[in-house]
Amino acid sequence: GQQVMQIPQYQHVQEGEDFTTYCNSSTTLSNIQWYKQRPGGHPVFLIQLVKSGEVKKQKRLTFQFGEAKKNSSLHITATQTTDVGTYFCAGSRYGQNFVFGPGTRLSVLP
Amino acid sequence: GAGVSQSPRYKVAKRGQDVALRCDPISGHVSLFWYQQALGQGPEFLTYFQNEAQLDKSGLPSDRFFAERPEGSVSTLKIQRTQQEDSAVYLCASRTLRGFDNEQFFGPGTRLTVL
């Protein structure tokens, strides 16, 4: 079945440093979503990518969808303590159901 | 309502007991999903409804798990004869059905602990 992997599993950064998490799917995706889950909270939607090679920006966050639509990345510039949480990618083959990756847990040291 | 709500927020069950978890989606949201999230893991898909129709239940781990959404709004996930491995947070999510606008709105989850 479809598998979604993420690396790294954990990332500790100093406030102000950049952070990147990578997502890889075993199958070609129709679209990919990114979610953030704060400690003790529930996943909150960040963005959806649909097109091959697509790049989207949200303030300090940059999201990319690979040309082959099998991988994606999330890059945060100049991290802040409010960025703490676990970032999940979720891929869909047909646009309906999504398979979540295991997440990357980000810690930001002030 | 302002968002997806779930009840109870916490449930402790003795092994072998049956439990029922409730999800109230955002009003008007056609699609409803159930996920199981073990500690330190990503949400794992359990089942999906479009209105009252259960279109995909491939993620349900065993026939002890059953979900329904009889009127296309509130949904209930029932687990019969609970086992310790059922301990997890059960998340419900809903979304509209507008082409590729696929944002899922998650509820706060029900944390199930089976002793």
The pLDDT tens digits along chain A (110 residues) read 779 999 999 999 999 999 999 999 999 999 999 999 999 999 999 999 999 999 999 999 999 999 999 999 999 999 999 999 999 999 998 877 899 999 999 999 98
CB atoms within 10 A of CB B41: 16
| Banded pLDDT at B98 (limits 50, 70, 90) | low
**Above pLDDT 70, what percent of chain B?**
96
Chain A closest-CA separation from residue B26 CA (Å): 15
Look at residue A19 and give its three-state secondary structure. strand
Q: Select the residue of A48, A88, A97 nearest B45 (Cβ to Cβ).
A: A97
Class of domain A4-109: mainly beta
Total count of domains within chain B: 1
Q: Which of B85, B77, B81 lies closest to B35 in space, CA to CA?
A: B77
Residue B78 pLDDT greater than 90, yes or no: yes
Task: Inspect the interface and report whether the beta carbons of A42 and B106 lie closer than 8 Å.
Answer: yes
Is the CB of B107 less than 8 angstroms away from the CB of A44? Answer: no
Of A2, A24, A42, A44, which to mutate for an interface test with B (greatest number of B Cβ within 10 Å)?
A42
Question: Residue B20 belongs to what domain range?
Answer: 5-114
Radius of gyration of chain B (CA): 13
Q: Over chain B, what is the mean pLDDT? A: 94
pLDDT at residue B1 is higher than 70: no
**Residue B99, pLDDT score:** 53
Domain positions in chain A: 4-109
Q: What pairing do the DSSP bridges indicate for beta strands B44-50 and B5-7?
A: unpaired
Residue A50 to residue B106, Cβ atoms within 8 A: no
Q: Which residues contact B7 (CB under 8 A, 6 or more apart)?
A: B21, B22, B24, B110
Q: What is the domain-level CATH number for residue B94?
A: 2.60.40.10
